[in-house]
């Protein structure tokens, strides 16, 4: 290094950086669990780009709003992390617990109330497994000393509450007559109901609303199978799938 030249110390990108005890298998497991929200973020992005389903977009939007709420709450409470923790930033509420609570509760509500693609047994198995995984992630934050019990409990509570509110909001968006009734709002929505406006905007990016009507995996397979046989008719297949619900 040349004389008089100063190089700043290297920093760590803490987005995926987790401290754990290498001699403790449970600590290692907790470190992997801490990466689950990042994995779900990648899954969100993949589904949004590949499937372009409005329900996925709405859930992703709710997840982002929930993260924004966490950012605001942390700066409102300004509550420090446990003293034995080497990380930075505020600890109240736990963002990991809040993220996973929102995902688990919203997904469970969606799979039981809106999804047409799973049997009753599969629905209960999936929702139970995801709720258990969310609880494991929340507990891992305590085990790794990233948060106190109170910070994790607060984060989980906020995540559950926001999931319930957002699910009701998205349900209301589908049925409300808001818009299309004249006045200033009618001018803003172009004479469309709120949901019609949402789908019109989504249509610019080829967004569809199929997973609440049919088993989308089977429907896509039927389109492919009939196309391979030379008898593809998407509208007819869609009508047949709707009759099975």
Element (H, E) at 3: none
More confident residue, 180 or 161: 161
Structure confidence by residue, pLDDT tens digits, 140-155: 998 888 888 999 999 9
- N residues, the chain: 245
The pLDDT value given to residue 52: 87
The DSSP symbol for 91 reads -
190/205 Cα distance (integer angstroms) = 19
The alpha carbon of 96 is separated from its chain's Cα centroid by a whole number of angstroms, namely 12
The DSSP symbol for 14 reads G
Q: Tokens for 225?
A: 């199978």
pTM: 0.81
The alpha carbon dihedral of 144, 150, 151, 156 has a sign of positive
- Angle, alpha carbons 54-56-57 (nearest 5°): 60
- Angle, alpha carbons 195-199-202 (nearest 5°): 140
More confident residue, 15 or 116: 116
- Alpha helix ranges (H) inside 114-215: 120-143, 149-175, 183-189, 194-203
Residue with tokens 């803490």: 14
Q: Is the peptide bond before 93 cis (omega within 30 degrees of 0)?
A: yes
Q: Is the pLDDT confidence value at 180 over 80?
A: no
Taking the domains of the chain in order of start, what are their residue ranges?
Answer: 25-175, 184-244
- pLDDT above 70 covers a percentage of the chain that reads 78
């Amino acid at each position: 290094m040349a004389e008089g030249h100063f190089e700043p110390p290297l920093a760590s990108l803490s987005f995926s950086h987790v401290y754990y005890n290498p001699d403790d298998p449970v600590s290692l497991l907790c470190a992997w669990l801490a990466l689950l929200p990042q994995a779900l973020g990648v899954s969100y992005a993949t589904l949004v780009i590949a499937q372009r389903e409005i329900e996925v977009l709405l859930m992703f939007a709710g997840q982002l709003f929930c993260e924004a709420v966490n950012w605001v709450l942390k700066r409102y409470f300004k509550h420090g992390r446990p003293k034995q923790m080497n990380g930075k930033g505020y600890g109240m509420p736990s963002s990991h617990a809040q993220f996973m609570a929102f995902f688990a509760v919203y997904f469970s509500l969606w799979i039981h109330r809106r999804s047409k693609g799973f049997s009753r047994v599969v629905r209960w198995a999936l929702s139970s497994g995801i709720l258990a995984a969310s609880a494991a992630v929340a507990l891992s934050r305590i085990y790794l000393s990233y948060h106190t019990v109170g910070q994790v409990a607060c984060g989980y509570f906020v995540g559950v509450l926001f999931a319930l509110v957002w699910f009701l909001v998205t349900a209301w968006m589908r049925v409300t007559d808001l818009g299309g009734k004249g006045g200033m709002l009618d001018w803003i929505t172009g004479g469309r109901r709120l949901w019609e406006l949402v789908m019109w905007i989504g249509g610019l990016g080829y967004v569809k609303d199929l997973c609440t009507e049919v088993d989308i995996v089977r429907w896509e397979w039927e389109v492919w199978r009939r196309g391979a046989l030379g008898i593809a008719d998407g509208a007819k297949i869609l009508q047949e799938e709707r009759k099975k619900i």
